[in-house]
A and B are shown apart, each in its own frame.
Chain A
Amino acid sequence: MKCKVCKAKAVAALPSHNAAFCKEHFNSFFMKQIAQGIKRRNLLERDDKVLVALSGGKDSLGLMYALAELGYNVTGLHIDLGIFESSIKARSVVEDFCKSKGYPLRVVELEKEGVPIPLIKKHIRRPICAICGKFKRHYFNKVAIEEGNTALATGHNLDDEIARLFANTLRWDQGYLSDQGPVLPAENGFAKKVKPLFRVTEYESAIFSFLADIPYHHLPCPYSSGASFTGHKMLWRDMELRSPGTKRAFYKGFLDRGRPAFAALEKEEKDYEINPCTECGYPTSAGVCSICRLKRQMQESMEQEAAKGAE
């Protein structure tokens, strides 16, 4: 197989773009996708101070590298979840990566915050992945705002966005369908959120990080089910195989024609207000934010356990 641009030996074929590329031209293709996506959907300004959420996986590390290469002012943020060996490994991958590239890095340790994920899992009887996501988003927002960052970037790629959009569509979730997208403007005390990888697939993102010699962490979380193809992603994989380019078209069509319709509806019907949490000051529509409520539940569960132990 030959590179579409220079006819040298190709290292990757992309059916959705009807193209194959050598290492050099894959890199230019990928960087162009990121730069054009940022520009066309107004994700970032040149002077934005961007906090990049780094898990240690291919998407987040590749994103940090791509944004730095494009000249953005980036700082990494890693949340150490405290999940034993898995978190130690992920953190060291992130720390080594930032050190070798000279990128500034901020680490939040959930252990030090009193909420390591294994402790939450023990005391809160709800699906741990959802709760873990809540805590990560909380600290992303908190650090972004408190430390003067103007944007928070995450490594969600086209496949992630499609899976989420599809789930929101199956439920016709008006609230989520009114604002899902690659950019969520700063409002109500939340920093602007951007997903600069929204135009590239998981496969393209993996190739990019591999070719850039980024030593990413590719082991799944010990608390996840371990299935590599999950529900909606599997459906979309098959759809894309039958008709390459469907994912991109579905997402683009949603941003151009679907979302504005839901946003208009939502504006008419919105019946809640965002105010600072009465306990921690974090923006919430619920009086006391969900993080403070979860912390309280944990505290109660731990006190009950201690009381039982004392009997």
Chain B
Amino acid sequence: MVIVKIEPEGQTVEYTKLNTVLQLLNKQGLHHTDALVIRNGELLTQDEQIRQGDEIEIRKVVSVG
């Protein structure tokens, strides 16, 4: 299980299996320059592997206006 928190919406989504950051972004309909992807306080590039048990935050960067 991988737990993903999405900001600024504050939603939490769970995935049973995820391989890479790119796959996660695709599932969320995001391109890699749309959001910061953070794990344990570190930024992840889109080629990074995601492991079982990871807790990840997606922080969208496009501000309103």
- State whether A221 touches B61 (Cβ < 8 A): no
- State whether A228 touches B8 (Cβ < 8 A): yes
Q: What residues of B have a CB within 8 angstroms of the CB of A225 in the complex?
A: 64
Which residues 24-60 of A have a CB within 8 angstroms of B?
A: 57-59
- State whether A203 touches B8 (Cβ < 8 A): no
Which residues 58-76 of A have a CB within 8 angstroms of B?
A: 58-59
Q: Which range contains the number of B residues in contact with the other chain? A: 20 to 34
- State whether B36 touches A237 (Cβ < 8 A): no
Beta-carbon contacts of B1-27 to A below 8 Å, as 1s and 0s? 000000110000000000000000000
CB distance from A38 to the nearest CB of B (A): 23
Q: For the complex, is A226 an interface residue (Cβ under 8 Å from B)?
A: yes
Which of B7, B32, B63 has the most chain A CB atoms closer than 10 A to its own CB? Answer: B63
From A13, A160, A218, give the contact of B46 (CB < 8 A). Answer: A13
CB distance from A86 to the nearest CB of B (A): 12
Q: What residues of A have a CB within 8 angstroms of the CB of B38 in the complex?
A: 210
In the bound complex, how far is the Cα of B2 from the Cα of A10, in angstroms? 23
Which residues 17-65 of B have a CB within 8 angstroms of A?
A: 31-34, 36, 38, 42-47, 59-65
Which of B8, B32, B33 has the most chain A CB atoms closer than 10 A to its own CB? Answer: B33
With A1-B45, A218-B59, A221-B64 as contacts: A210 and B31 at CB distance below 8 Å: no
In the bound complex, how far is the Cα of B10 from the Cα of A226, in angstroms? 12
In the bound complex, how far is the Cα of B60 from the Cα of A206, in angstroms? 9
Q: For the complex, is A233 an interface residue (Cβ under 8 Å from B)?
A: yes
Q: For the complex, is A107 an interface residue (Cβ under 8 Å from B)?
A: no
- State whether B45 touches A20 (Cβ < 8 A): yes
In the bound complex, how far is the Cα of B28 from the Cα of A221, in angstroms? 23
From B34, B36, B46, give the contact of A210 (CB < 8 A). Answer: B36
Closest to A233 in B: B62
CB distance from B26 to the nearest CB of A (A): 13
Interchain pairs with CB closer than 8 A, number? 69
In the bound complex, how far is the Cα of B59 from the Cα of A15, in angstroms? 19
CB distance from A14 to the nearest CB of B (A): 8
- State whether B8 touches A219 (Cβ < 8 A): yes
In the bound complex, how far is the Cα of B36 from the Cα of A17, in angstroms? 18
In the bound complex, how far is the Cα of B55 from the Cα of A227, in angstroms? 25
- State whether B34 touches A237 (Cβ < 8 A): yes
- State whether B43 touches A12 (Cβ < 8 A): yes
Q: What residues of A have a CB within 8 angstroms of the CB of B36 in the complex?
A: 206-207, 210
Apart from A220-B63, A226-B64, list 20 A-B contacts with CB within 8 A: A1-B47, A11-B42, A12-B45, A13-B45, A20-B45, A59-B63, A160-B65, A163-B65, A203-B61, A207-B36, A210-B36, A210-B59, A218-B8, A221-B64, A225-B64, A228-B8, A228-B62, A229-B62, A230-B62, A237-B62
Residues of chain A having any CB pair with chain B under 8 Å: 1, 10-15, 20, 57-59, 129, 159-160, 163, 201-203, 205-207, 210-211, 218-221, 224-230, 233, 237, 240-241
Nearest 8 pairs of A and B residues by beta carbon: A206-B61, A11-B43, A203-B33, A1-B45, A224-B64, A202-B61, A220-B64, A203-B61
